[in-house]
Structure 1
Amino acid sequence: MEVKVTLRGPGELADALPYLLGFQPTDSLVLVALHGEHGRFGGRLRVSLPENPADWSVSAGHLAECLVRNSTRRGGHPDAVVVFLCQDPSEGERPSDVMERLRPLAQRLRVACGELDVPVVEALCVSAGRWWSYCLPHRAPSPAEGTALPPPGSTAMAATAAYAGLPTPGSLRDIEARLRPAAVRDHQREIALDIACAEVLPRMLADNRVEETRRRTLGLARAALERLRAVPRLDDAVRSDEQDDALLADDEAATVILGLQDKAARDRAAEWAEPGQADAAVRLWRALARRCVGPYQEHAVAPLTLTGWVAWSTGDEAEARVALRMALDLDPNYTFARLLHTSVNEGLDPELLRRTLRQERRKRVLGRAATRRGPTGAAGRGPDPRAPRDRRARTRR
């Protein structure tokens, strides 16, 4: 069922942004492509706000080019763009100060898009529950204190989302918090990772033990997955994550984290995205990402990427984008995360990758079965005594 909603004015446009992204953006720069006479929403791009004003011109040009290129590849050259700059005030700063501080960035984005023949029809600053337009004509300027966003649930977009059964968007900070270690350093978990590193790494580097290490990694991960499946997820995200953390022993989690640094083990773990497994799998990968403390923060790339994959495969594009972006922030060259991030942003069907993983698993299972059987029948049994005599003779020869 296709549901359409018409947005009237910049206030409703600002209110609609969390529904377009799937979360409440914070410290974010968002570009949304518009198509056709009535401004149908197309591709969207969200990045963290560039901190250094000296980089704004280069960043604006790069982001405008990315949006136009990707939108053209997916659904045609955009006819216009809407810009959102979202940031809450820092200590001692007023929301209107945020708006004025970001005004030059908005202007650079307008120029960069205009140079690509895509006009910016609206540029909004959203801060502390208020919005300002950088595009209103001088005869109708935004009030200095901004305009309050509509009350939650009172707009056409909110009503349409409720009618379609979509959840109320959470905040970007809340999604990120579920994937990051606690701010307080956990020395016990760090010690467990030290021990696992000393034990697992030499086995991963030894050709004759790497497959054994993969099996151990996946065995421990599978056991943890089954424990999570046996305990229902709680509705409260914080309590649910605490419950999941309590189901994982430090040494067990550390061994799995180190083992997932092997790409073959990670790819086999990615197969756990089928219905019935996916919910427990994404809980497991989140919990492992949260365990990557201290000097092991970069080891979170693998569980973050797996989180992004399972979230995408179950239709949660918001968490998928956040998890994959966090993985790429840690390692911009991590191939699996880059491929997934591109696939999510280009609107590909995750079933294509799920089908490939099924095929790889089938090949692996058949290969193991063939190895067990060996060249002369069932493993270790030699020729089949029930076979005709001439066939047994040929086998002996």
Structure 2
Amino acid sequence: MFHHHHGPSADGIRTRATWAELFYDIVLAFGVSQTTHILARSPSWATFGEALLVLTPLWWAWVDVALAVNMVEETHVERLLLLAAGLATYGMGVAAPHALTGHAEAALFAGSYLLLRLLMGEATRRDRPFARTIHPYAAGVAFALALTAGAFMSPPARAAVWAAAILSEAVLPALSSRRLHGMTYSAAHLPERFGLFIIIALGENLLTVGSGASARALTGALIATLVLSFVIGGALWWLYFHLAAPAVEHSMRTHHTPGTVVRDVLSYGHLLLVTGLLLVAVGTARTVARPTGISHDLSTVLLPVGAAIFALTFGYTRWRMFGAASATRVGAGLCLLGLAAGAPFLPAIATLGATAVLLVAVNGLEHWLVATGRSVPLLFQRSAQRPRPSADRLSG
């Protein structure tokens, strides 16, 4: 019925996200917001590690679901799989804030993840109608069983077992590159799926900051903070969707092994982008709490470090796609890291304002370079692979 809208295109590959996928994304958005709460509770390197341990399985689950349904015509089977995956993801999200400390929560988190892995495995094992995923079935289930075993240990042992399992799961796609060569992907649909995830993470930022602000008395400083945080959200959006998103789609169509783009740019690169956005959300929310305060703890550097991770990741993804990184984004990332070094000595709102200025400046510079027909200056160029002129314009 909806074939003109988001069914398969002429070559039998889906071109648009389906409503069922978007429903799954909403459940995932809840899970991502729950990981933000872990870090927001008490920002420290330990809680940042905790947030990453909870976010990473959610991330790989989402990647594998996105890949599994990427080449599939929408059927009732696919819809039911997405709803079942959504329920499992919901369980992970509910358990996330206390998964490393509580017993029932750990069991719910690991059990939901195991259910998700078994569902995915069952769908992809039969190979019709679902495509293959970035993690082989047996490996995905093994990682989930390790989490389940860890759920019944004491919190310190659990953290160690989970960290080992989650790290192995993260490293596996880098090692099993043979698997990527045999996989085919929709060049339109997959980049759209990952772009939607970035939109979700940006929305999480607005949600965290806005709900924090509406719980406080409105002052001039608070309104300034809201405006600046919105400008930062818009500038981060622009960094991704103006040049980077079209570059990913272009690369998916032209790269000699699209599987490496799926692995390095979409799977690993976007995990870094989402991590950066998570830090930005928590850092901005802390600024809303005390706009003019100077605190010498980790919370002051979360915002500039998160924005730096976001900007620098584009250097890495562009290098993987086209053999060179854009100097504008690497430069912006380094400036943001410089700002992070000074952040503990500045009022929170000053760090927020400086971050906004840097992000708007890099977007303005890139817009000017592209609009005047100049090429974006490049770094780390691989001599064997000069970027094509079309790729050169896409500084993503």
The bucket for the TM-score relative to the shorter chain is under 0.3
Q: Which has the higher contact order (CA 8 A, sep 6+)?
A: 2
TM-score by length of 1: 0.23
More helix as a share of residues? 2
| Greater radius of gyration (CA) | 1
TM-score by length of 2: 0.23
